[in-house]
Amino acid sequence: MPADVVADRAADGPVVDLRSDTLTRPTEAMRRAMAGAEVGDDVYGEDPTVRRLEERVAELLGHEAALFCPTGSMANVLALRTVVGVGQEVLCEAQAHVARAELGAHGAYTGLTMRTWSHPTGGVDLDAVASMFAPDLGPFFVRTTAIAVENTHNFAGGTVVPLADIEALTAFARANGVGVHLDGARIFNAHVATGVPLATYGGLVDVAAVCLSKGLGAPVGSLVVGSADAITESRVWRKRMGGGMRQVGVLAAAGLHALDHHVERLADDHAHARLLAEAWGVDPAGVATNIVVRDVPDAPAHVAAAREAGVLVSAVGARTVRLVTHLDVTRADAERAARVLATL
Ligand SMILES: *Cc1c(COP(=O)(O)O)cnc(C)c1O
């Protein structure tokens, strides 16, 4: 957390940092796993720890292959470009991370365009998709070649997209010959919240991106999963984008450790988020995982007031604030932050 905030708060105890689940620091046990990792040059395909991680994540999601990437944004870019070409479009929800928070990477690198539907909890509006859908309306219209879904949905507040809605979307896409991409940065949260197997989520899409550096607590790392062909192509594009990494088994080891030790505990983050929601005036029944969003009259002012009281949250819109629970937030931290948020 920012040093000035730490200094400010030194007198009243440490700050609780709820800005993002990317803020976690590797645990001692994770650092030991990293230090002991067997490594090789991964651009030569010779890092055994990376290979183990890629095989494990592919199998968990029920796909043929996976590719280790430095970030979820790169994983989304690589994944989407396997189903959408230059000058073609993907349909997605209006608050999707791929549309809002990847700084135009998909347009800049792939040359694709996006059209969006809006859904109050970031879910699927199949009616809207069906009416926007334009796989071949002649040479005047951008061709739709894929549909993307985000699960859990970040800016909608960690909402889980109902399985039946994804099934219906996939049935529609398959009947019409277009691809489906899953931005599964927090698919492990969805899995823990619902009990739906990861392979069930994975089996409904052509390609997906998953993150180890969010609630799972790894310092770095995301993967693209898909068919062997999609991953072979993504490996070439990852190198082209400057993302070929060498003895990166030290990071893959953190990911493997996270998969062994930090999946089931996501349930604690979800319980902490409900506790915080209640204190913050948000109905905990609407909090499915580790994110709470709340509308306020002035988001930067709310963030500043919370910070003053020792709790860091973030503005994700002019009138929307967000808090995120994670591995480095204990029950005691959550209770302390709840007492602060209740006073705002
Ligand atoms: C965090 C996140 C990503 C990837 O972010 P990086 O910071 O690039 O790793 C992708 N999608 C969603 C929904 C996210 O929350």
Domain boundaries, the chain: 3-18+265-341, 28-261
Return the residue whose CA atom lies nearest to atom 3 of ligand 1: 72
Other C-beta atoms closer than 10 Å to the C-beta of 205 total 29
Distance (Å) from CA 191 to ligand 1 centroid: 17
How big is the CA angle at 177 (ends 198 and 158), to the nearest 5 degrees? 35
Measured by CA distance, the residue closest to atom 14 of ligand 1 is: 185
Alpha carbon of 185 to ligand 1 centroid (Å): 6
Residue 225 CA to residue 78 CA, distance in Å, equals 10
- Name the E strands within the chain: 16-17, 65-69, 88-93, 113-117, 143-150, 179-184, 207-211, 222-226, 291-295, 311-312, 314-317, 320-324
- The per-residue pLDDT for range 118-157, each reduced to its tens digit, is 999 999 999 999 999 999 999 999 999 999 999 999 999 9
Residues with CB under 6 A from ligand 1: 71-73, 76, 97, 150, 154, 183, 185, 211, 213-214, 222
Compute the distance from residue 60 Cα to the ligand 1 centre, in Å.
Answer: 20
- How far apart CA 175 and CA 283 sit, in angstroms, is 38
CATH of 3-18+265-341, one of 3.90.1150.10, 3.40.640.10, 3.20.20.10, 3.30.420.40: 3.90.1150.10
For domain 28-261, give the fold: Aspartate Aminotransferase; domain 2 (3.40.640)
CA gap 310, 25 in Å, rounded: 20
Find out whether 323 and 284 touch, Cβ atoms under 8 Å. no
The rounded distance, in Å, linking the Cα atoms of 210 and 253 is 16
Give, in order, the Cα–Cα distances in Å from 119 to each of 80, 89, 96, 161, 173: 21, 19, 10, 11, 19
Minimal-distance CA residue to ligand 1 atom 5: 72
> pTM of the predicted model, to two decimals?
0.96
Q: What is the position in ligand 1's atom list of the atom closest to the CA of 214?
A: 1
Measured in degrees and rounded to the nearest 5, phi and psi for residue 212 equal -100, -10
Q: Which residue has the tokens 């180890």?
A: 212
pLDDT (tens, 9 = 90+) of the chain, 344 residues, equals 555 555 555 455 679 999 999 999 999 999 999 999 999 999 999 999 999 999 999 999 999 999 999 999 999 999 999 999 999 999 999 999 999 999 999 999 999 999 999 999 999 999 999 999 999 999 999 999 999 999 999 999 999 999 999 999 999 999 999 999 999 999 999 999 999 999 999 999 999 999 999 999 999 999 999 999 999 999 999 999 999 999 999 999 999 999 999 999 999 999 999 999 999 999 999 999 999 999 999 999 999 999 999 999 999 999 999 999 999 999 999 999 999 999 99
Distance 72 CA to ligand 1 centre (A): 5
Q: Say how many Å lie between the CA of residue 81 and the centre of ligand 1.
A: 17
Ligand 1 pocket: which of 22, 77, 149, 154 to mutate (most atoms within 8 A of CB): 154
Q: Which atom of ligand 1 is nearest to the CA of 71?
A: 9
| Torsion sign, CA atoms 86, 168, 74, 36 | negative
Give the closest residue (by CA) to ligand 1 atom 4.
72
Q: Whose CA is nearest to atom 6 of ligand 1?
A: 72
- The H-or-E segment that residue 85 falls in is none
Could you list the beta-strand ranges (E) of 75-184. Answer: 88-93, 113-117, 143-150, 179-184
Whole-number Å distance, alpha carbon 343 to ligand 1 midpoint, is 31
Closest CA to 223 of 70, 81, 109, 105: 70
181, with CB counted inside 10 A (0-12, 13-18, 19+), is buried
Residue 43, by phi and psi: left (phi above 0), alpha (psi -120 to 50) or beta? alpha
Q: How far is the CA of 73 from the centre of ligand 1 (A)?
A: 6
